[in-house]
Amino acid sequence: MISKNFKKFIPVIVYFIFVLSSFATGFDAGKKIGMNFAVFSLELLKVLPPAFILIGLFEVWGKSATIQNHLGSASGFKGYIWALLLSATTIGGLYVAFPVSYSLYSKGAKLSVMFTYLSASAICRVPMTIFEASFLGLKFSIIRFLVSLPLVIITSMALGSYLEKTNYKIRGGLK
């Protein structure tokens, strides 16, 4: 009988068997898949450990009162502006944005502000915007910002309001 823990690893085992057999048989598509996985894994190993160290330091040194003042319920609209500015400087995409968001929420940030941060970190990081503007033009990037950022804030406010009315709580958070 196969245990539940082993069943979780079956897709991973099948993947590695596929990649190894691709290298053994010379199957180019499988070799490319394996190489892409290796490159992606190395990129993650460059970004995630330093980011998690910084998040850990923030957990220890960051003051809840400061987060509540700037990103909490009493922050008003400036909380959304702070979330947009913070998201623009986040490296590592959503792999880093989710733990940062949780850390901010656990220190008292408003739920809708965290939705703004998460959404904006997916669409308006500075390096991504520079890359986009160089290929699609500055005009396109400005129009995309003018359309997408208000929509991000509006949907974040609506979702945050709905979840607060239903008394939704993230496990482990202050709220």
- Per-residue pLDDT 10s for the chain (175 aa) are 677 888 888 899 999 999 999 999 999 999 999 999 999 999 888 888 988 899 999 989 989 999 999 999 888 899 999 999 999 888 878 888 999 999 998 899 999 999 999 999 988 888 888 889 999 999 999 999 999 999 999 999 999 999 989 988 777 655 4
| Residue 25 and residue 86 in one domain | no
| Residue 161 and residue 136 in one domain | yes
CA 68 to chain centre: 21
Quote the domain boundaries for residue 154.
62-175
| Residue 43 and residue 26 in one domain | yes
The residues, ordered by sequence, that sit 6+ positions from 160 with a Cβ below 8 Å of its Cβ are 110, 111, 112, 113, 114, 115
Both tokens assigned to 139:
């005009």
At residue 76, φ and ψ (nearest 5 deg) are: 70, -145
Q: How many domains does the chain contain in total? A: 2
Using alpha carbons, select from 34, 32, 9 the residue that is nearest to residue 19: 34
